[in-house]
Amino acid sequence: MAGYKDQKPSAPEKPPLTHFLCLPLVTPQSKPQLEKSLQQFRDAATSTASVMPGIHAKAIRPVGALHCTLGVMSLDQEQLHKATQFLANLDIQRLIRDEQTPQQRVQPFEIDLKGLVSMHAPRNTSILYCAPTDSDGSEKLYPFCLAVRKAFSEQRLLVEDDRKLKLHATIMNTIYAKGRKKRSAKPRKTAALDLNTPDPQNPPNADQEINQAPRNDEPRSAGHGPHASAPLKIDATALLEQYKDVVWAQNVALDRIAICEMGAKKILNEQGEVVAEEYKEVASLKLPT
């Protein structure tokens, strides 16, 4: 039995991620603005005349998928019921008052979505995003989001994560693009990648979303977040400079907190064509507007 002496026990398998807590960014007010700005970005970024040619349109997130994640969940049916009930009974007014001065009337959360930032070093990245800012400059949204996340964490409804909350809306993630290459131990060169060549051994999965349970050959959260290891990387330096001041939407009143299922669902028209992608909300709670 000496041959097994130094063997380390395998780490327990982490449970699959099933849901996430978020601030949906698509509202009746924001949707027209986001549709226009995302389409303009998609047309420009995927053009052969782009400063970053070779970006596949699928790398750019659909409007219906835009949100700010507050935490991810791994829930069975009993836990999901607990989470939805907890959200329904969450004292939003108290949480807001705790983060605003007691004398203030509870104010709605109105945000702007501006700029374009890389999740990693700009010369070797797979994720570009914009961060919400309070339209009035009050900086009240972030502490409120921390309070909501803390409330759910105390109920053990979120997967433990000691990283600082980074409020962001993903604009582009190459994990969704066609032609994802099989992971290799060899170092890769960063370039303007041709994302149009399909890989039959590793077909793209446009439904996989932030921190969703990965394939068996991928570590958890591969392709998402600051430690993403997406197979396709780009040098986004020129693109970031070009879009550093872009306005995606402004004066948007956030209208709800939601628990959503992992994996954006395709919306089909009568002809069976994909016309949109969005997340299924299993529960939501209105915010003051």
The domain segmentation of the chain, as residue ranges, is 17-286
Query: Which residue would you say has higher pLDDT here, 199 or 288?
Result: 288
Of 158, 213, 211, give the one whose Cα is nearest residue 13: 213
Buried b (16+ CB within 10 A) or exposed e, 139-165: ebbeebbbebbebbbeeebbbeeeeee
Q: What is the pLDDT of residue 6?
A: 59
Residue 224 pLDDT greater than 70, yes or no: no
Q: What is the pLDDT of residue 103?
A: 56
Q: 141-154 and 92-99 helices cross at what angle (nearest 10)?
A: 130
Residue 213 pLDDT greater than 80, yes or no: no
Give every CB contact of residue 12 below 8 A, 6+ residues apart in sequence: none
Residue 108 to residues 92, 142, 218: CA-CA distances in angstroms? 11, 13, 41
Residue 212 to residues 123, 207, 255: CA-CA distances in angstroms? 26, 9, 25
Q: What is the pLDDT of residue 212?
A: 35
Q: What is the pLDDT of residue 55?
A: 80
Q: What is the pLDDT of residue 220?
A: 40
**Which whole number is the average pLDDT over 36-57?**
81
**Which whole number is the average pLDDT over 6-32?**
86
Q: What is the pLDDT of residue 113?
A: 98
Residue 102 pLDDT greater than 80, yes or no: no
Q: What is the pLDDT of residue 97?
A: 79
CATH topology of domain 17-286: Cyclic Phosphodiesterase; Chain: A, (3.90.1140)
Q: What is the pLDDT of residue 46?
A: 85
Contact criterion met (CB below 8 Å) for 149 and 70: yes
Q: Which two tokens stand for residue 100?
A: 């605003």
Query: Which amino acid, 31?
Result: K
**Which whole number is the average pLDDT over 208-229?**
41
How far is residue 284's CA from residue 121's CA, in Å, rounded to a whole number? 35
Q: What is the pLDDT of residue 172?
A: 94
Residue 201 pLDDT greater than 50, yes or no: no
Tens of pLDDT along 142-192? 999 999 999 999 999 999 999 999 999 999 999 988 654 444 444 444 433
Percent of the chain with pLDDT over 70: 72
pTM: 0.77
Q: What is the pLDDT of residue 1?
A: 53
**Which whole number is the average pLDDT over 231-239?**
86
Residue 119 pLDDT greater than 70, yes or no: yes
Torsion over CA of 158, 164, 165 and 167, rounded to 10 degrees? -160
The rounded mean pLDDT for the chain is: 80
User: Per mean pLDDT, which range of 38-52, 57-71, 96-110, 200-214 is the poorest?
Assistant: 200-214
Tens of pLDDT along 259-274? 999 999 999 888 888 8
